[in-house]
Amino acid sequence: MRENARARSFWPKILENDAGEEIATTAQWEARRNEIKNHLQDKIFGYFPKDLAVEFKSVLETNLSSIEATYRHVEISFPSLNTDRKIHLGLFYPKNIGDRKLPVFLSVNKCGNHTIVKDEIIPQNKGLPHHAVYCEGKTRGSLQDSYPVDQILEAGYIFATFDKSDMDADNASLLDDGIKSLIQTHSDPNRSWGTIAAWAFGLTKAVDWLHQDSHVDTNKIAVTGHSRRGKAALLAAAMDERIDMAIPHQSGLGGTARYRRAYLRESAKMMTHGHFVYQWMNEPHSLQHFFSKEFANWSERIGRLPIDAHHVIGLIAPRPFMDVQGTHDFWAGPRSSRRMVELASKVYRLYGVEVGSDLQINDGDITSENSGQIIQFTSRTGHVANRFYWSKFIQFADSHFKTTNAPSSPLESPQSPQ
Which tens digit of pLDDT belongs to each residue from 184-209? 999 999 999 999 999 999 999 999 99
Higher pLDDT, 62 or 272: 62
Count Cβ atoms below 10 Å from residue 240 Cβ, excluding itself: 18
pLDDT band per the 50, 70, 90 thresholds, residue 298: confident
- Cα–Cα nearest to 110, from 393, 416, 385: 385
Contact 197, 235 (CB under 8 A): yes
Tell me the HSE value of 274 on the side-chain side, using a 13 A CA sphere. 13
pLDDT at residue 170, rounded to an integer:
86
Q: Is residue 345 part of a domain?
A: yes
Complete DSSP assignment for 323-361: EEEETT-GGG-HHHHHHHHHHHHHHHHHTT----SSSEE
Tell me the residue range of the domain where 213 lies: 5-401
Instruction: Give the whole-angstrom CA distance, residue 240 versus residue 203.
Output: 9
Q: Is residue 252 part of a domain?
A: yes
Q: Would you call 131 exposed, middle or buried from its count of C-beta atoms within 10 A (0-12, 13-18, 19+)?
A: middle
**One-letter amino acid of 303:** G
pLDDT band per the 50, 70, 90 thresholds, residue 299: confident
Strand-pairing partners, residue 162, are: 108
What pLDDT digit, counting tens, does each position of 229-265 carry?
A: 999 999 999 999 999 999 999 999 999 999 886 444 4
Q: Is residue 381 part of a domain?
A: yes
Task: Give SS3 for 285.
Answer: strand
pLDDT at residue 115, rounded to an integer:
95
Q: Is residue 289 part of a domain?
A: yes
Task: Give SS3 for 365.
Answer: coil
What pLDDT digit, counting tens, does each position of 2-25 carry?
A: 444 444 456 899 999 999 999 999
Ranges 214-218, 350-354, 414-418, most confident: 214-218
Examine the pLDDT at 356 and tell me if it is beyond 80.
no
Phi, psi (5° rounding) for residue 279?
-65, -25
Q: Is residue 70 part of a domain?
A: yes
Q: Would you call 411 exposed, middle or buried from its count of C-beta atoms within 10 A (0-12, 13-18, 19+)?
A: middle
Instruction: Give the whole-angstrom CA distance, residue 60 versus residue 113.
Output: 14
Examine the pLDDT at 36 and tell me if it is beyond 80.
yes
Encode 4-61 in three state secondary structure: CHHHHHCCCCCCECCCCCECCCHHHHHHHHHHHHHHHHHHHHCCCCCCCCCEEEEEEE
114-128, 150-164, 212-226: least confident range:
114-128
Examine the pLDDT at 409 and tell me if it is beyond 80.
no
Examine the pLDDT at 273 and tell me if it is beyond 90.
no
In 50-85, which positions are buried (b, 16+ CB within 10 angstroms) versus exposed (e)? eeeebeeeeeeeeebebbebbbbbbbbbbeeeeeeb
Quote the DSSP letter at residue 370.
T
Q: Is residue 253 part of a domain?
A: yes
Examine the pLDDT at 80 and tell me if it is beyond 60.
yes
**One-letter amino acid of 166:** D
- Cα–Cα nearest to 90, from 65, 73, 106: 73
Please state the rounded mean pLDDT for residues 341-369.
91
Contact 177, 169 (CB under 8 A): yes
Q: Is residue 339 part of a domain?
A: yes
Identify the CATH number of the domain in which residue 71 sits: 3.40.50.1820
Examine the pLDDT at 164 and tell me if it is beyond 80.
yes
pLDDT at residue 403, rounded to an integer:
58
Instruction: Give the whole-angstrom CA distance, residue 250 versus residue 253.
Output: 9
In 188-218, which positions are buried (b, 16+ CB within 10 angstroms) versus exposed (e)? eeebbbbbbbbbbbbbbbbbebbeebebbbe
pLDDT at residue 190, rounded to an integer:
95
What pLDDT digit, counting tens, does each position of 171-182 carry?
A: 776 666 789 999
pLDDT at residue 319, rounded to an integer:
98
Say what the pTM is. Answer: 0.90
Please state the rounded mean pLDDT for residues 341-364.
91
- Cα–Cα nearest to 387, from 240, 46, 379: 379
State how many domains the chain has. 1
Q: Is residue 416 part of a domain?
A: no
What pLDDT digit, counting tens, does each position of 81-140 carry?
A: 999 999 999 999 999 999 999 999 999 999 999 999 999 999 987 655 566 767 877 899
Q: H-type helices in 64-164, by residue range?
A: 149-154
Instruction: Give the whole-angstrom CA distance, residue 236 versus residue 244.
Output: 11
Please state the rounded mean pLDDT for residues 377-382.
96
